[in-house]
């Protein structure tokens, strides 16, 4: 049965409230301003998954609103996409203090919620942004070798096995510090367009 958009939006809202009431990662929750759940189109064909919110994201409660968010917007427009066409989230939905990397335990605690979020949206493709988010789906991921190469990954959602098409990408922030990666990301976004049949 295909869910309509309002059903999906309600399920996402329920999932968000479940995280808020479940005392998930209490130390992180205590130091964060907001839960950064995710934004965009609940009917999207693609979900972008980053690792964790930064300072601006923590303040606004929205993912990818800082400098790397602007870079992501540019990459989306390079393949005729807008934020309203896609869904954007992170594995860890509270900001780690001082922008440190999320710990393996933090990622593990949020992982089932991320899978349920993806299962509600039912995208054709999940694009991971950066090594941390790539490795939660593909354990042996080497971002320098595997970026731009989609893989079908088996995951378990509420006890059901599901196959997800995962496209590992460099994190947009990487292009802020390394000019050559800008070109790589633009090339990899052409694969996004191909997977989504955008001409």
Domains and CATH numbers, the chain: 5-195 (3.40.470.10)
For residues 180 and 184, what is the distance between their CA atoms, to the nearest angstrom? 7
| Mean predicted confidence (pLDDT) in 9-18 | 96
- Pick the more confident residue, 17 or 176: 17
Determine the pLDDT at residue 164: 93
Q: Cβ neighbours of residue 109 under 8 Å, at least 6 residues apart?
A: 24, 25
For residues 128 and 125, what is the distance between their CA atoms, to the nearest angstrom? 10
Cβ atoms of 30 and 70 within 8 Å: the answer is no
What strands lie across the sheet with 46-50, from one edge to the other?
39-40, 87-90, 46-50, 125-129, 160-169, 151-157
Say yes or no to pLDDT of 179 above 90: no
| Mean predicted confidence (pLDDT) in 15-27 | 94
Determine the pLDDT at residue 78: 96
For residues 102 and 140, what is the distance between their CA atoms, to the nearest angstrom? 18
Please name every residue paired with 165 in a beta bridge, in sequence order, or none if there are none: 152
pLDDT over 70 percentage in the chain: 99
Position 44 confidence tier, pLDDT thresholds 50, 70, 90: very high
Determine the pLDDT at residue 42: 97
| Mean predicted confidence (pLDDT) in 96-125 | 95
Give the CA distances from residue 66 to residues 6, 32, 58, 70, 124, in Å, rounded to whole numbers and listed in that order.
29, 17, 10, 7, 27
Sign of CA dihedral 72, 75, 80, 86: negative
Say yes or no to pLDDT of 2 above 80: no
pLDDT in tens, 51-87: 999 999 999 999 999 899 999 999 999 999 999 999 9
């Amino acid at each position: 049965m295909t869910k309509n958009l309002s059903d999906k939006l309600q399920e996402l809202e329920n999932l968000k409230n479940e995280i808020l009431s479940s005392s998930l990662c209490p130390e992180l929750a205590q130091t964060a301003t907001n839960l950064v759940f995710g934004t965009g189109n609940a009917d999207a064909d693609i979900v972008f998954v980053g690792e964790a919110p930064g300072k601006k994201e923590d303040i606004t409660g929205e993912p990818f609103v800082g400098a790397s968010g602007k870079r992501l917007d540019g990459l989306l427009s390079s393949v005729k996409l807008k934020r309203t066409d896609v869904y954007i989230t992170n594995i860890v939905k509270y900001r780690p203090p001082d922008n440190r990397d999320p710990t393996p335990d933090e990622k593990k605690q949020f992982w089932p919620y991320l899978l349920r979020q993806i299962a509600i949206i039912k995208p054709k493709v999940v694009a991971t942004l950066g090594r941390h988010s790539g490795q939660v789906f593909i354990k042996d991921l080497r971002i320098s070798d595997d970026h731009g190469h989609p893989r079908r990954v088996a995951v378990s959602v509420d006890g059901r096995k599901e196959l997800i098409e995962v496209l590992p990408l460099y994190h947009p922030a990487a292009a802020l510090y390394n000019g050559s990666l800008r070109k790589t990301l633009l090339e990899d976004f052409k694969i996004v367009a191909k997977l989504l049949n955008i001409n």
